[in-house]
């Protein structure tokens, strides 16, 4: 996955690929709700895990390219804390809901909720990527350099 991620050269492409993979995770939750045999859950959840891992790769690439080097440690710590905190809250809520419901509808519900949240981000991400592409082109034209951000963590050197 990391090799393929390197081929996506634009930040916008990385963010969109991450969202696509996140959608794959949510779709696997939906598919797992209609599986008749538990043995079929293994490949479905493996595919969801690959999508989750790929999403993490793209998130880390975008974070590493967008955050200045001096602040990367704090940025990765904040991202990790948010992810781990959300997982803890999810485990808590999921455990409480399992007391009153079966697991299959909860998993499907999480898949549906994830896809709805993902759909809510599609338009703002597309708008932001259009703005980002025009801003990077303006910076590259202003600097007179080659490709914008070539070899830099950000489009403008930070010292």
pLDDT digits (tens, 9 = 90+) for 84-93: 999 999 999 9
Segment 25-29 shows an average pLDDT of: 92
Q: pLDDT-based confidence at 11, cuts 50/70/90?
A: confident
The interaxial angle of helices 11-32 and 103-143, nearest 10 deg, is 170
Give the Cα separation of 74 and 56 in Å (integer).
17
The per-residue pLDDT for 23 is 92
In this model, does residue 34 exceed pLDDT 60? Answer: yes
The per-residue pLDDT for 15 is 84
The per-residue pLDDT for 49 is 94
Average per-residue pLDDT for the chain: 82
Segment 56-69 shows an average pLDDT of: 90
The per-residue pLDDT for 7 is 59
Give the Cα separation of 17 and 8 in Å (integer).
9
Least confident of 40-54, 61-75, 118-132: 118-132
What is the percent of the chain with per-residue pLDDT over 90, rounded to a whole number?
Answer: 51
The per-residue pLDDT for 132 is 64
Least confident of 18-27, 110-119, 122-131, 136-145: 136-145
Structure tokens at 146: 């080659």
Whether residue 21 contacts residue 54, with contact meaning beta carbons closer than 8 Å, is answered with yes
Residue ranges of domains in the chain: 2-143
The per-residue pLDDT for 156 is 52
Segment 9-27 shows an average pLDDT of: 85
pLDDT in tens, 136-151: 554 444 444 444 444 4
* Radius of gyration of the CA atoms of the chain, in A: 19
């Amino acid at each position: 996955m990391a090799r393929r991620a390197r081929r996506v050269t634009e930040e916008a492409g990385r963010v969109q690929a991450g969202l696509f993979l996140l959608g794959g995770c949510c779709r696997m939750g939906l598919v797992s709700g209609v599986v008749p045999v538990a043995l079929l859950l293994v490949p479905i959840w493996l595919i969801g895990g690959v999508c989750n891992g790929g999403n993490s790769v793209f998130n880390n690439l975008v974070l590493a390219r967008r955050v200045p080097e001096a602040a990367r440690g704090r940025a990765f710590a904040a991202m990790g804390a948010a992810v781990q905190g959300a997982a803890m809250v999810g485990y808590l809520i999921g455990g409480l809901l399992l007391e009153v419901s079966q697991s299959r509808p909860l998993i499907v519900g999480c898949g549906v909720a994830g896809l709805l949240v993902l759909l809510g981000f599609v338009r703002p991400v597309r708008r932001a990527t259009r703005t980002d592409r025009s801003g990077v082109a303006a910076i590259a034209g202003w600097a007179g350099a080659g490709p914008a951000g070539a070899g830099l963590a950000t489009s403008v050197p930070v010292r």
